[in-house]
């Protein structure tokens, strides 16, 4: 069963529990399934769902199952409308996927995370576990590090203070000193590398995307398995990803 994307460490407080239930509600309809997915007790989930029903963020259908309500659907519609700005990026992402033969992602920045809004898969016998809507950390992904490399040092330090730079694999950079040094390399090189830092066996290269104001609001990446004998080298992928990031930025009106 698909687990909630909300981290279990966040579900200990009231707001974390609500977010976990909200996240699970998108994928599941039965109370028991929502409870399992969110990692919360049925009684807690039932209480939260009743509040969501009162506030019209959820409704109960004719079978007694819970489904997203009008307010939640309207909110999702506004978010999707914001992401329509990236429709013009699809051609660039398609060319990047074809030239690398790898999985291509586009993610937008949201607080201390990035969220995938596009995913293009190659014709390979395997598929990456990521999906549109998945939230990813910033400190250990190529998308996140591409973004952080263009932010002020005090911003990165504040992020590290808030998140703690949790370890995802043995390769994760968990000290602020190591992360800042890596971001210096990203700025000099023009693209970021996730060398099995977020997920074992997965290698990613990413580049930032700027909007019409010049601010970094998204990033594009190429993802491969280390074990793939047909995987392209970073020396080949890096310039292609950087070019794609620049093209998407230009499409958004970046100066």
Contact assessment for residue 36 and residue 47, using Cβ atoms and an 8 Å cutoff: no
Q: Which of 135, 122, 113, 114 is nearest to 93 (CA)?
A: 122
Strand partners, 109: 114
Residue 226: exposure state from Cβ atoms within 10 A (0-12, 13-18, ≥19)? exposed
Q: Does domain 8-68 have CATH number 1.10.10.10?
A: yes
Q: Which residue has the tokens 């080298």?
A: 233
Task: Specify the pairing of strand 113-120 against strand 58-60.
Answer: unpaired
pLDDT of residue 133: 81
Give the per-residue pLDDT at 174.
Answer: 97
Q: What pLDDT, on a 0 to 100 scale, did the predictor assign at position 115?
A: 87
Strands 202-210, 216-225: pairing kind: antiparallel
What's the pLDDT at 148?
97
Whole-angstrom distance, CA of residue 101 vs CA of residue 95? 10
**How confident is the model at residue 111, as a pLDDT?**
82
Q: Where are the domains of the chain?
A: 8-68, 80-251
| Cβ burial, residue 191 (10 Å; 0-12/13-18/19+) | buried
Reported pTM: 0.71
Reduce the secondary structure of the chain to three states and give it as a string.
CCCCCCCHHHCCCHHHHHHHHHHHHHHCCCHHHHHHHHCCCHHHHHHHHHHHHHCCCEEECCCCCEEECHHHHHHHHHHHHHHHHHHHHHHHHHHHHHHHCCEEEEEEEECCEEEEEEEECCCCCCCCCCCCCCEEECCCCHHHHHHHCCCCHHHHHHHHHHHCCCCCCCCCCCCHHHHHHHHHHHHHHCCEEEECCCCCCEEEEEEEEECCCCCEEEEEEEEEECCCCCCCCHHHHHHHHHHHHHHHHHHCCCC
Q: Does domain 80-251 have CATH number 3.30.390.30?
A: no
pLDDT in tens, the chain (255 residues): 444 544 444 445 788 899 889 888 888 999 999 999 999 999 999 999 999 999 988 989 877 899 888 788 777 665 655 555 677 788 999 999 999 999 999 998 888 899 888 999 988 888 888 888 888 999 999 999 999 999 999 999 999 999 999 999 999 999 999 999 999 999 999 999 999 999 999 999 999 999 888 999 899 999 999 999 989 899 999 999 999 999 999 988 888
β pairing state of 202-210 and 66-68: unpaired
Residue 8 is predicted with a pLDDT of: 42
In this predicted structure, what is the pLDDT of residue 11? 47
């Amino acid at each position: 069963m698909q687990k909630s994307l909300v981290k279990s460490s966040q579900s200990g407080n009231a707001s974390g529990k609500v977010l976990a239930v909200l996240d699970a509600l998108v994928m599941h309809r039965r109370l028991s399934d929502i409870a399992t997915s969110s990692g919360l007790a049925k009684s807690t989930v039932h209480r939260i769902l009743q509040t969501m029903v009162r506030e019209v963020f959820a409704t109960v259908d004719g079978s007694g199952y819970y489904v997203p309500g009008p307010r939640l659907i309207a909110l999702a519609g506004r978010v999707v409308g914001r992401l329509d700005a990236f429709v013009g990026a699809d051609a660039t992402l398609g060319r990047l996927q074809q030239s690398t033969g790898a999985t291509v992602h586009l993610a937008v920045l949201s607080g201390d995370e990035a969220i995938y809004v596009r995913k293009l898969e190659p014709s390979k016998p395997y598929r990456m576990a990521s999906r549109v809507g998945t939230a990813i950390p910033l400190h250990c992904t190529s998308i996140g590090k591409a973004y952080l490399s263009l932010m002020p040092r005090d911003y990165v330090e504040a992020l590290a203070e808030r998140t703690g730079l949790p370890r995802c694999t043995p390769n994760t950079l968990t000290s602020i000193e190591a992360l800042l040094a890596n971001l210096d390399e990203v700025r000099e090189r023009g693209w970021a590398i996730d060398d099995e830092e977020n997920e074992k066996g997965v290698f990613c290269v990413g580049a930032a995307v700027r909007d019409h104001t010049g601010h970094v609001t998204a990033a594009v990446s190429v993802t491969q398995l280390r074990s793939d004998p047909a995987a392209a080298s970073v020396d080949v992928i890096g310039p292609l990803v950087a070019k794609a990031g620049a093209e998407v930025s230009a499409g958004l009106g970046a100066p």
